[in-house]
Amino acid sequence: MNPLSVLRDSLYFFRRHLLSIAKLCLPLVFLEALSSQLLYAQLGEDASPAFGMLVSLLFYPLYTGALILYLDARSDGHEPLKRNLLAVAMRMWPSFALLVMLSSLLIMAGVALFILPGIWVMINLVFAEYLLFLRGLTPIAAMRESFQMTTGNFWRILVCMLGVLVPLWLIDGVSLMLLPEPRNPLLEVLVNSANGLLQLFSSVVMFRLYMLISEPAVERSGS
């Protein structure tokens, strides 16, 4: 499992299916960006980032869950109806939201100790979302299984994560810095929405890793 090959294959898939991914996820990504903009306009820019996390908790499980289901269907050669994917994501929202909350608390606890424990926790939980949706595990069981799946693959996963997240963070930061002052709220929402869509590339990369790591485990269990 070469990290460069994972990133290359994921980028090819993302570019090829970008229009379908945008149709599926962009409306919710836009609503998330708009809701955050309106919330902070009311609370002020000095408001706690926790409010933004609450907004993300509302929308993130919906568009990410739908994307995971789309990736799984496309890996089997199917073209699913977007309304069906969103319907399943809505039904799974409570479990996914709980998983996101628990994972975030563990990661923040690790960061509070030192930065490295937070990164270690984040890497080990990277497959929990896929296990929740694709294997039907409970949030706790998905987190536990994710820890097991990442055993022996930590550094390759870390390289892949850094290879995708660092450029995306740079794009996000630079694009916001280039916005003219005073910032136009609508333009800022559009830029945040575009960056949010690009951030979904990380889910494609992690799904590719999930498939590569889970396939040998399936073969061993079937032999």
23-32, 119-128, 207-216: range with lowest mean pLDDT: 207-216
Letter string b/e over residues 7-22, b meaning 16 or more CB atoms within 10 A of that residue's CB: beebeebbeeeeeebe
10 Å CB burial of residue 164 (0-12, 13-18, 19+) is buried
Q: Where are the alpha helices (DSSP H) in 76-184?
A: 82-91, 93-113, 115-124, 128-134, 139-150, 154-177
Cis peptide before 27 (omega within 30 of 0): no
Burial category of 106 from C-beta neighbours within 10 Å (exposed 0-12, middle 13-18, buried 19 and up)? middle
The pTM of this model reads 0.91
> Could you state, in order of their start, the residue ranges of all structural domains in the chain?
3-222
- Could you report the per-residue pLDDT of 144-192, keeping only the tens digit for each? 999 999 998 999 999 999 999 999 999 998 988 888 887 788 899 999 9
The rounded distance, in Å, linking the Cα atoms of 192 and 11 is: 21
Own/partner pairs, 36-40, CB within 8 angstroms, 24+ separation: 36/192, 37/185, 37/188, 37/189, 37/192
**pLDDT at site 218:** 47
Q: Is the dihedral of CA 188, 97, 86, 38 positive or negative?
A: negative
78-123, pLDDT tens digit by residue?
A: 888 999 999 999 999 999 999 999 998 888 887 777 667 888 899 9
Look at residue 3 in the predicted model and tell me its pLDDT.
Answer: 85
pLDDT of residue 44: 73
Query: Over 50: is that where the pLDDT of 223 sits?
Result: no
Question: What is the chain's mean pLDDT, rounded?
Answer: 89
